[in-house]
Amino acid sequence: MKEVLLILSAYLIGSVPTAVWVSRGFFGIDIREYGSGNAGATNTFRVLGSKWGSFVMGVDVIKGIIATSLYILMPYYLHDETDRTNFMVGLGLAAVVGHIFPLWAEFRGGKGVATLFGMIIAIQPLAAICCIGVFLLVLYLTRFVSLSSILASVAFAVFILYIFDAKETLYRGFAIAVALMVMLTHQKNITRLLKGNENKVPILKYRDRRRQRRHLSSAEKE
């Protein structure tokens, strides 16, 4: 019974619609009516800028960490690693479901990537650091948050299955499910990427301007 209550609590934590509350509270709009129509960090970056996009992403990650860490309220799970990992997966997934279908925002939320990442941080911090590296590298090179999220999720599965060689069957299955889920929730983004019309987030714009100026300068010299 206690496990059920904690999983429900994890769902309610995940249901906190950060992007919706920020857009309504500070800008008087509903983020879901702009950009991609998604109530997540990526659309917040696109519509409200990097400052608020970073804030929303940070809070959504923290939601995943807190929800997944609720296992500490059950002393039994402090001493059994396998059962603890399995229960943490259940808690984390409940938070992700809450983010995608938030009770506090008409069940219209985001894609759950940031909350999912918070879950991974709570379960296996080293794997999370590796995924951060992949995400940031791809983001720096492309400025596509969607592509960065997809490749980071695939990298997570590779890390868990082959690099860290996790023994828990549920955790291994979860790693594969993460990659599949992220690709499934980013189908529209994948289509736009293939067509070449996916939107880039407004970061590293000064780097791009410098490159553009150098290109123009080179063109003038020629």
pLDDT above 70 as % of the chain = 91
Q: Chain-wide mean pLDDT for the chain? A: 88
Spatial contact of 77 and 161, defined as CB atoms under 8 Å apart: no
Q: Which two tokens stand for residue 70?
A: 């609720």
Question: Distance between CA 156 and CA 199 in Å, rounded?
Answer: 24
Higher pLDDT, 145 or 31: 31
Spatial contact of 31 and 43, defined as CB atoms under 8 Å apart: yes
Nearest to 88, CA basis, from 100, 103, 99, 78:
78
Nearest to 100, CA basis, from 48, 32, 147, 164:
32
Please report which confidence band the pLDDT of residue 199 belongs to, taking 50, 70 and 90 as the band edges: confident
Q: Which two tokens stand for residue 82?
A: 């396998």
Please report which confidence band the pLDDT of residue 90 belongs to, taking 50, 70 and 90 as the band edges: very high
Whether pLDDT at 206 is above 70: no
Question: Distance between CA 59 and CA 213 in Å, rounded?
Answer: 36
DSSP character at residue 163: I
- How many other C-beta atoms lie within 10 A of the C-beta of residue 72? 9
